[in-house]
Structure 1
Amino acid sequence: MALQFALNHMTVARQSYTDAFDLAAMLGCIGVEFRNDLPSELFDGDAPDMVKAKAKAAGLRILGLSEVKMFNAWDDRKASETEALLTIAKAIGAETISLIPRCDGHGCGNGERQANLRLALREILPMLKSFDIVGLVEALGFEHSSLRFKSEAMEAIVALGGEERLKLVHDTFHHYLASETQFFPDDTGIVHVSGVEDHDLTLQEIGDEHRVLVGPKDRLGNVNQLKELIGAGFDGPISYEAFSPIVHDFAQPKDELQASMKHLESAVSVEETLLPG
């Protein structure tokens, strides 16, 4: 089956944004996600209209711009950061911005974390509507995260009536770390995939640095997670987001990514044929 693959710039973090466009186009991706947390200057200093034009020329969507860090530690500074990111996203034609929760061990208490989340999303919602952009809320499965579960994010989104402007990121890595079992295909805006192949690491030892491309040795259950989402109706972008220096050092990332994509397409198709009925 044909999956709608995309490329998160983190996967090729040492390449320019134009190289990311070229690679995504060669791989047949539908789009690219860009980030404001890479070592290089955002878009290498190019003007937003140039970025937008290059995306159009490559036949690619700019699926998202990341990120507002610690968005649920809301204050005037976070409001300014959110507005600044939305302004850039609008100028380049990005469809979404990413909202990343606090992950420093603070604000994790029951009651406190829900209140902080709802406060931040209540303030962000009208900004998203004003810019006509979707906000992607990403739960981080680390034990020290103030938002570990997508289910908790959805509770806040529904309570605020924000389902149209706020969607979830289903990150297969964080889904695994949180030992989460619930899937929200109708409320998922994008899926992030990466793999972990070191089976000796404990759950607590696994970190971003272990996130490689998805292959047959993956322990995160990417295939089963995708099968679950697609079987329940998800048909959106599946974006590669690998943080490992091993991936960043690939001399030929196209070949490695192409092999991983073929693996996922084949494995998900096999799984689909085994479904009852």
Structure 2
Amino acid sequence: MPAVRSPSFALNHMVAPSLRPDAFFALCRKVGAAQAEIRNDLAGNAIIDGTPAAEIGSQARDAEVSLISINALQRFNDWTPAREAEAIELADYAKAAGAAALVLVPVNDGSGRADGERQQNIRTALRALKSILRDRGVLGLVEPLGFAACSLRSKHEAAEAITDIDGIGAFKLVHDTFHHHLAGEPALFADMTGLVHISGVTDKDVQVDDMRDPHRVLVDENDRLDNVGQIRTLLSAGYAGPLSFEPFSPAVHTLEDPTRALADSIAFIRARL
């Protein structure tokens, strides 16, 4: 296969969720990742521990790390007054911290999946979010999930909704290699992709329909999701953004030295591209 453009890498705070933000940003620099994603779901850690956005932004700048996104506004396509208030709070935090985007994660509990209902729900949410995000200079990153219970599995439906509400420029897609594999949707939408999340599954016994977040490890030669193939196709189709590591496995979270493991995974991916 011909070589493709060498990608840039980023780290999602989920690679080492017990690290405080300053240590996490230092980890980014150690592995050569100049971009990072912060999260609002890490118990006892920023953002939900009350750490001011300005402090997070300052720590990132001190480490010479740029903030890609806050991950995430959950259940974004179940639009309610409470969701609107949460969206405003997170968008304000993103602006104050200097984070470029807010990841938007759909309902994933089996509800809102009916044909017609799910398409309407995403359009309602995106219309409301467009002005909230635009007024703060924050991009919306829509992340379809591959789980059968998810109300938005298809990137095609997400792309259609973004186009229908005149959201090009306000929203882009997240291509998550794990969720793309689970959804079984062939289309990649590289031109509408603003971020790629990468993680691998190496457990030989788990069936695709039974794959869950705890199976998600760093990408290596035992990966079953064809991360390298997905990345190659995205890069060949023009995607020029970062590849952000997002493993959820406790086996990764408890590593004594995540620096070495991340460096090895980066080297593996680069060598095969």
Corresponding position: 1:213 with 2:218? yes
Amino acid at match of 1:267: R
Q: Which moved more, 1:6-15 or 1:44-53?
A: 44-53
Give every structure 1 segment of 4 or more consecutive aligned residues whose post-TM-superposition deviation is greater than 4 Å.
none
Question: Match for residue 11 of structure 1?
Answer: 15
RMSD of the TM alignment (CA)?
A: 1.0
Measure how far apart 1:2 and its partner are: 3.1
Question: Match for residue 56 of structure 2?
Answer: 51
Q: Secondary structure at the match of 1:62?
A: strand
Q: Percent identity?
A: 41
Amino acid at match of 2:79: W
For the residues of structure 1 that align with 2:237 and 2:34, how far apart are their CA atoms? 21
Q: Secondary structure at the match of 2:210?
A: coil
Deviations 1:61-118 (A, max 9, x none): 0110011110101010000000000011110000000110000000001111001111
Amino acid at match of 1:230: L
Q: Secondary structure at the match of 1:80?
A: helix
Q: Secondary structure at the match of 1:42?
A: coil
Amino acid at match of 1:98: V
Amino acid at match of 2:91: L
Residue 24 of structure 1, aligned match among 25, 28, 38? 28
Q: Which runs of 5+ in 2 are unaligned?
A: none
Measure how far apart 1:223 and its partner are: 0.4
Residue 182 of structure 1, aligned match among 174, 184, 187? 187
Question: Match for residue 271 of structure 1?
Answer: none
Corresponding position: 1:41 with 2:67? no
Measure how far apart 1:45 and its partner are: 3.9
Deviations 1:198-247 (A, max 9, x none): 12211121100000000000000100000100001111010000000000
Q: Which moved more, 1:200-209 or 1:248-257?
A: 200-209
Q: Which runs of 5+ in 1 are unaligned?
A: 269-277
In the alignment, is the contact (CA less than 8 A) between 1:30 and 1:237 conserved in 2? no
Measure how far apart 1:186 and its partner are: 1.3
Deviations 1:248-268 (A, max 9, x none): 010000000000000000111
Residue 147 of structure 2, aligned match among 138, 142, 148? 142
For the residues of structure 2 that align with 1:50 and 1:159, how far apart are their CA atoms? 38
Q: TM-score, normalising length from structure 1?
A: 0.95
Q: TM-score, normalising length from structure 2?
A: 0.96
Q: Secondary structure at the match of 1:65?
A: strand
For the residues of structure 1 that align with 2:235 and 2:141, how far apart are their CA atoms? 19
Deviations 1:2-55 (A, max 9, x none): 321000001111111111100001111121100011112325543222221221
For the residues of structure 1 that align with 2:27 and 2:46, how far apart are their CA atoms? 18
For the residues of structure 1 that align with 2:52 and 2:144, how far apart are their CA atoms? 31
Matches within 5 A, 1:1-277: 2-43=6-47, 45-268=50-273
Measure how far apart 1:162 and its partner are: 0.5
Measure how far apart 1:56 and its partner are: 1.3
For the residues of structure 1 that align with 2:140 and 2:29, how far apart are their CA atoms? 25
Q: Secondary structure at the match of 2:209?
A: coil
For the residues of structure 1 that align with 2:46 and 2:164, how far apart are their CA atoms? 35
Measure how far apart 1:185 and its partner are: 1.1
- In the comparison of the two structures, how many residue pairs are matched? 268
Amino acid at match of 2:21: Y
In the alignment, is the contact (CA less than 8 A) between 2:20 and 2:46 conserved in 1? no
For the residues of structure 2 that align with 1:147 and 1:96, how far apart are their CA atoms? 20
